[in-house]
Each structure stands twice: as structure tokens, then as C-alpha cells.
Amino acid sequence: MTISKVYARVVYDSRGNPTVEVVISTEKGKFSAIVPSGAHHNSHECLDLRDNDPKKWNGRGVSQAVQNVNEIIAPALIKANLDVTDQESIDEFLIDLDGTPTKEKLGANAILAVSLAVAKAGAGKKGSPLYKHIADLAKLHEYPFLIPTPFFNVLNGGIHSGSGLTFQEFMVVPYGAPSFFEAVRYATEIFHTLRTLTIEKYGSSSANLGDEGGIAPNVENARQALDLIVSAIKGAGYEGQVGIAIDASASDFYKEGKYDLNFKNEELSNAIDYLTSDQLAELYWDLINKYPIVSLEDPFSEDDWEAWTKYYPKFQSKVQIVADAITSTTPEIIEQGIEKKIANVLLLKLNQIGTLTEAIDAAKLAYDAGWAVQVSHRSGETEDTTIADLAVGLRTAQIKSGAPARSERFAKYNQIIRIEDDLEKYAVYAGKNFHDSNKS
């Protein structure tokens, strides 16, 4: 079955910014995909093509990316007459059509939207669920399927909130739940308890939501945030069954070779107070030993390889270390990270690399090195649920898609609930084994 039509349009993400939707038409019907966007654009990731026209969408328009799909990709792809189930050939065709290392000619947002819509069309041709089709593409179709442990971002900081909190994400991880469905229930109860506790302590305005749906109280530091979350876990009755994960997003506060914990407050920011990587590592170590932290993401800057290699051996004895900005879902950099032993979890973001095939290859590269993989949303999200199927299809055992609030976040969690329900006895919830996805 070949493609009869490829059409792109402008739609909107959760921040109210434009993004790209692509619809692929075959004799089986129409199949669409929408790409998200992140607040971060790391130096190594593929280009999220924007118009940079200040008169429209504050420069964030994607008209050129949409035009590239409709005027360049569409006629070329239809003429190529490739079968929609041959994802690798189609993705290779798209990569060659662009011809640049970071997909800057056509835009990774344009290319990824096409790639994901093709994957859905391929699943449609086979009459297969998308997660099963992805498992087939990755040659990871053992039964039972692995349902990932969710990482819920319940408290937002960093550039995802208006508070002064330095670290970007504080997540709860319901590893002790008996199923994904129950894990979501645990998280919603903790989230509502957290919201109540926050209002009681900091006032009603403190319950405002950040970019990823978590509350964004004006807490001063990580300890205050963690104390709130621990109280919420206890208050909801799940102590010992739920861990905490932190995404520090340290590249955001890396200045002059050091770390500025007051980077969001110009009045308090002073170079004299910047922390060295050793001092920052000491802060993490204190937090890890005081709180039930199970995961630490981007503890150091993407440019501070020395700190990553120095402290991974120590940290990994207590928590998993997740690489995001430093690896950017890019195989060449992942290989460097594996060689230098910087982490043991790859954060997988589709729009950092630009095609489904390349994302699958990145995940398998991590697996081969004994790393785990965590599928991730972006802060500018949409109602598209592809990453839910990706996590199940790739047996990643971990997914983060924001707070148990806001429909663009819950869309992914609801999709996994459906998958778990449909699979019944052919599904196993990763739970406490969230770090052993490639061994489960």
C-alpha cells in the first residue's frame, strides 16, 4: 500500500504556539500526527524550523515547515511509491531529501510529522495497534508487552515556571503500584494532596500550574519542594510505594563553568555564589540521602562532561542517572556517553532526532550498552499520543509525560491505560523494575 496524499497544516501546542500536523492518506484511510516542541533547543538536536517573523506568532510560526511538507516532501514521497510499512526506507528517503545533519533544510518538525503519520498508516495497513507495529519495526515483539512505570511531574520549577525554583522538574514515581492504572490513581491522589498542602502553606495563588501541568509554588529551594512532595506522598497513604525523580536541567543555570542556583532572580544572582560542579554534586548527594529519590536527570550541564564522568560512579549506586541535553537522542553522542560512562538511562525525545527509525536506533544503542530508556514528552505538547505507543512498543519501562493534570499530558497516560486494558494478561507493569527494561 502506497501513499496517495500528504498534507500538512498549522495547529497549536499546549503553550498556544503553532506546530505542524501532517495527514497521510492511503486506501485504508487518513492517518495524522502532530509534533510537540520543547522550551530547550540543545546545540546537538535537530532543528525545529520556525519562521522568525516577529509580526506573526512572535516569530514562532511554522508556515515554512508546513510549506516544505506540502511543496517538497509530499510530491517527492508520493512519486517514490514506497510502502507505508517500510518505515526505515521512508525515513531514509526523508533524511536524504533534507540532506543536512540536523534537518535544517526542511525542518525536523516537518520531517518528524511525516515520519510519525507514516508509522500510523503502516499500523493501519496491518490492522495492528501502533505499539505492536513499533515493536515489529524494532524487532522487539516478545510477549508479554511491558507497560512503563510513569514519572509524573507534579511540581514545576526552572524555565517551566514563574517561581524562583532552580531545578526544573520534581516527579513522583509510583513503582509500588500493581498496574499502570493503579499507578495513575496513586499519582492523581498525591497530586491533589500536594495541591491542598501547597495552598495551606503558601496561599491559593501557589497552586497555579506550570508548563507541564505541575503546580508551581514560589518555593525557595529544592528542599522545600521535596518536603512538600514527601508530605503529599505520606498524606495520600503511599509512603514506601512511590519514589521521587528530579530533572535538574542544569544546562539552564550553567554560567562561566559554574552553576548559578539563583539564575532566575537577577537581584540574588552573584558570581561569588556560583557553585562548582563538586559543590553541586555535594548538594545532590545530600538530597539523595535525605529523600526517597530514585532518579536524577541532567544533574550537570551538557558542556560539563568532566562532572558527568566524575560523579556517575558515585550517584548510580543510589539512583539512576538520566542523560537528556547532553545526548539529545543523537547516536554519535550517545556512543560517547556510553564510552565515557556518564549515565545509565537515555531520555528519548522524538523531535530531538527527527524520525521514528532514528529514535528506535537510539534506543537500541542504549539497550546494547545496558542502559535503560525513558520516553519523554516535551513542554510544548499536543493531543497526539504516539509516545505512549512508543514506550510500550520499545519496552522502555519508563515514560514521563507531565503531571496528572491537563489533557495534553493525560492523553498519553489514558492511551497506556487503554493499551494495558486491551492486552490484559499479555501485559506486565514494569513497576519496581523500571530500570531493567532491556532485561524484563
**Is the peptide bond between 129 and the residue preceding it cis, with omega within 30 degrees of 0?**
no
- Amino acid, res. 320: Q
First and final CA of the chain: distance in angstroms?
A: 35
Say if strands 149-156 and 398-400 run parallel, antiparallel, or are unpaired. Answer: parallel
Q: Check 349, 358, 381, 412 and give the catalytic one.
A: 349
Residue 212 bears catalytic tag:
yes
DSSP states along 36-71: -B-S---TTSPP------TTSGGGT--HHHHHHIII
Which three-class secondary structure state does DSSP give residue 408?
A: helix
Burial class (CB in 10 A: 0-12, 13-18, 19+), 227: middle
Read off φ and ψ for residue 177, nearest 5 degrees.
-70, 150
Q: Which of 247, 78, 96 is CA-nearest to residue 159?
A: 247
Q: How many CB atoms lie within 10 A of CB 389?
A: 24
What DSSP state is assigned to residue 275? B
Kindly give, in sequence order, each residue whose CB lies less than 8 Å from that of residue 132, ignoring residues fewer than 6 positions away: 123, 141, 393
Q: Which three cell numbers stand for residue 57?
A: 506568532
Residue 349 bears catalytic tag:
yes
Q: Which three cell numbers stand for residue 199?
A: 495552598
Alpha-helical segments (H) within 291-330: 305-315
> Which helix (H) or strand (E) element contains residue 155?
strand 149-156
- Amino acid, res. 290: K
Q: Check 45, 169, 212, 381 and give the catalytic one.
A: 212
Q: Which of 80, 79, 83, 71 is CA-nearest to residue 110?
A: 71
Say if strands 169-173 and 243-247 run parallel, antiparallel, or are unpaired. Answer: antiparallel
Place of cell 512503563: 148
Which are the catalytic amino acids? Answer: 212, 349
